[in-house]
Structures are given as structure tokens and as C-alpha cells.
Amino acid sequence: MRPSMDVVSKKVAPAAAGESGAGLDLCHDALGYALRRAQVRSYELLFGILGQEALTPARITALSLIATHPGMSQSVLAEQLQVNRASVVKVIDALETKGFVQRCPVQGDRRSYALAVTQAGRAELHALRRKMDAYEAALAERLEAGERQQLMRLLEKVAPPGRG
């Protein structure tokens, strides 16, 4: 059973040298933990700018990929998003329900669909572009231009695009 937040203080003093807690700190100097904190901060900023009812980051990415790769198949989209086929179907279903994308039959292959962005989807992307620019600026506001570029290069090494 997890303790409630009112019982556990958000600020806990570290164990003193020689106490039994020594060596149990799995967060200090942990790349994964730092990336997770950055992700939490990133999402807080994103939804603060876009609003709580906005498309999820996965749906925004999918919409952008479909717009920039007309005729993309669901399988290719799943590969690009690094998700399984069932997950990508849910993303496409949600975008289709909002009228942002449509599935178009592929001639000669009754099981495949080519994905296309609708006019409403293009309008949504144009509206998102302005908000995403504000989001990117807020996310990098504490970084100098060179630091932002360096961080982007380092993150590419940690998490290469595609299946690296």
C-alpha cells in the first residue's frame, strides 16, 4: 500500500553518512532519472501551453508525420512512432474521429490503407505550429543556443530516431 502524500513529506533529508540508507540512492547521477524529470517538465509546459484537452504528444507526432509523408501506411506510421500495430490503430482512430485524417484504400491491397491529412487536420497543424513554437521557446528558455544544439545532439545519441 502506498502512503498518502499528506503522510510523506515532499522534502526528505538524505541519510547521514554511516546510516543504513547509504548506497540506496538510485537517483543521484542517474541519467534515466534526469531524463524522466525532463520529460515531466516537458509535459507540464506542453499541456500548459496547449491546454488539457489538446491532442496527446503521440497524436500530434502522428498527425505531423502523416502530413509530411502523404500516403503513409499504418505499418510505416507504427514503425516511425515505435509502437505496435494495435497502438497505432488507436492513434489513427482518434485522429479520424476528430476529422484530422482519413484512411484511403490502397489499390491492389484490400488490407492496407494509405493515410491522408484532411483540411481540418491541416488547420489543426497550423494552429499547433504557433503553440509548439511557444512551447519550444519555453522549454529551452534556460539554455543558450549552443547548449540547446548540444543537448539535441546528445539526446540523438541516447535515443536515436527510428529503431536505433
pLDDT at 93 over 70: yes
pLDDT at 136 over 60: yes
144-162 residue pLDDT tens = 989 999 999 999 999 887 6
Name the residue with higher pLDDT: 112 or 87. Answer: 87
String of DSSP letters for 31-68: HHHHHHHHHHHHHHHHHHHH-TTSPPHHHHHHHHHHHH
Interatomic CA distance for residues 14 and 21, integer angstroms = 8
Q: What pLDDT sits at residue 5?
A: 43
Q: What band does 71 get if pLDDT is binned at 50, 70 and 90?
A: very high
Q: What band does 25 get if pLDDT is binned at 50, 70 and 90?
A: confident
**pLDDT > 70 in the chain, percent:** 85
CA distances from 6 to 1, 9, 81, 120 (A): 14, 7, 38, 45
CA dihedral (62, 68, 71, 72) positive or negative: negative
Picking from 84, 74, 79, 76, the residue whose alpha carbon sits closest to that of residue 111 is: 74
